[in-house]
Structure 1
Amino acid sequence: MPSTEASTDTGTGPGSPTDEATGDTLDLRLSGELVALLGEGDPMAVTPPSDDARTGDLLDAPERWGPATTLAGVLQLVPVRVERDLALVSGWMNDPAVAAFWDLAGPAAVTEAHLRPQLDGDGRTIPFLGVLDGVPMSYWELYRADLDPLARHYPARPHDTGIHLLLGGAVNRGRGVGTVLLRAVADLVLDHRPRCGRVVAEPDLRNTPSVSAFLSAGFRFAAEVELPDKRAALMVRDRALRDLL
């Protein structure tokens, strides 16, 4: 179960909301392939999987959801491709602020070993680059929380959808970017997954910026949860409350 901490939020970990995410100040120039992928009318025309490959899709094909316009810019979730994105994502994972919660620092092979099971699996977890106004600046994982080991630790409901977020550069942290993007992606989930009544996350309780970012993004603190690798804050964004929080 991926750590939700240093990433999700705002700089500090998979869930660091006060902004976030972590990562070093890296050169975020787009590769030619990614530029081409984003430059055609529909950025999501990123070689989506065939209909046959999507049979039984567990997350309702988020690669087809399209961009979200936010106060921070236009966000596009682009499916991760190891051959194109490994160096970038591995660099972010080696940022000390991120490594403290994701525990994926080290050679690129460490990050690849984290990505491969998701990419080769049944689609219950999908990794994405968050591309903001054409610049890859964050790493996301969308996952079926009700089918994840997390479901053993809280009263999961069918189609609960989880979010992990990592902001990939100091320039994106501390300015509320994580909060804005968390709300936008949670809205994408609720808009495109009608069977999903809740979006959930589980940042480390120690990651106060992440917890704060989730709260500011319309999530509520539901419980403290003891997970195998951390004591987490179970954060929930309810469909029924999305217009109130």
Structure 2
Amino acid sequence: MTPPQPPPHPGPRAADPHQPPPADGPAPRNTGMPVAGGGAAAETAPGEVDGGPGSRRLPGQARGGQRPVPASSQPVDLLDGVARWGAAGTPRGEFRLQPVRLERDLELIAGWMNDPVVSAFWELSGPAYLTEQHIASQLTCDGRSVPCLGLLNGAPMSYWEVYRADLDPIARHYPSRPHDTGIHLLIGPPEYRGRGLGGTLIRAVAELILRQRPRAQRVVAEPDVRNLPSVQAFARAGFRRAAVLDLPEKRAALMLRAR
């Protein structure tokens, strides 16, 4: 299906096409990742993850949807080619990010979104078109957010959003730096939860980002402060709790992983 077209974004674009300004709108929604014991953890969207109630807004997206992008700016790569990042070795096996293709991946991801543990934070349960719209709005934007499947030993088992935190509304709530890169995630199949995978995979992705994005000095996350398993997963992955942010949709722990 074709998602509804968002209204044009007010105001001019930045002169440098590689540095579009942060989108207008509220701070990012709280996404959360399912955790051990059948509970759920919140953050910008993992399963020791980040997610949560509220706007269902995407990274860099204003209330009315992400801004349309002129055809001439489509080739701009704001995240240094996520599809080319390759695999990371982990104690649990080989892990890689694979950018989403809706025709291939929608049914799988929509199924995960209908798991009560996931839907409590992502709020995308229901017909598959809800998930389709959520992902399509990133795929048709300017590249500041890349939705991906996480493959562990070749098996798709998690969903990730890698995004430019410095171009997102979250940048208005902390001292952002150029090329700060944020992550959201969820762990899909229940059999992968409660095994400590969250911290392992977050560490692997953070290291991929810092290796493949030489201009990025930090990886950023903002789990809900009430989501202790998520905060702890990021801490296990080498993130430090830098501040508490009062965002429109949540009170968040600002978690930073420096180069």
Query: Could you say which TM-score interval applies, normalised by the shorter chain?
Result: 0.7 to 0.9
Match of 1:197 in 2: 217
Q: Give the CA deviation at 1:2.
A: 5.2
C-alpha deviation, 1:54, in angstroms? 7.1
Higher relative contact order (Cα pairs below 8 Å, separated by 6+ residues): 1
TM normalised by structure 1 equals: 0.79
Q: Number of paired residues?
A: 209
Give 2:121's aligned amino acid.
F
Structural mapping, 1:206-245, within 5 Å: 206-239=226-259
Give the match's secondary structure for 1:213. helix
Structure 2 unaligned regions, length at least 5: 1-26, 51-71
In the alignment, residue 96 of structure 2 is paired with which amino acid?
Q
Q: Deviation at 1:195? A: 0.6
Identity %: 59
After superposition, the Cα gap between the structure-2 partners of 1:9 and 1:56, relative to the gap in structure 1 and judged at 3 Å, is farther
Give 1:12's match in structure 2, choosing from 41, 59, 65: 41
Q: Is the 8 A contact 2:42 2:223 kept in 1?
A: yes
Name the residue aligned to 1:25: none
- 1:64 corresponds in structure 2 to 84
Q: How has the CA–CA distance of structure 1 residues 104 and 2 changed in structure 2, closer, same or farther, with 3 Å as cutoff?
A: farther
Is contact 2:32–2:118 with CA below 8 Å preserved after alignment?
A: yes
Task: Establish whether residue 86 from structure 1 lines up as the match of residue 106 from structure 2.
Answer: yes
1:15–1:214 Cα contact (<8 Å) kept: no
Alignment partners' CA distance in 2, 1:162 and 1:148? 9
Instruction: Confirm or deny: 8 A CA contact 2:45 2:121 kept in the other structure.
Output: no
Cα drift, residue 140 of structure 1: 0.4
Q: Which residue of 1 aligns with 2:120?
A: 100
* Pick aligned residue for 2:132 from 109, 112, 115: 112
For the residues of structure 2 that align with 1:145 and 1:8, how far apart are their CA atoms? 23
What's the offset of the Cα at 1:56?
A: 2.3
What is the letter of the counterpart of residue 202 of structure 2? L
C-alpha root-mean-square deviation of aligned residues, in Å? 2.2
**TM-score when normalising by structure 2:** 0.75
Tell me the SS of whatever aligns to 2:32. helix
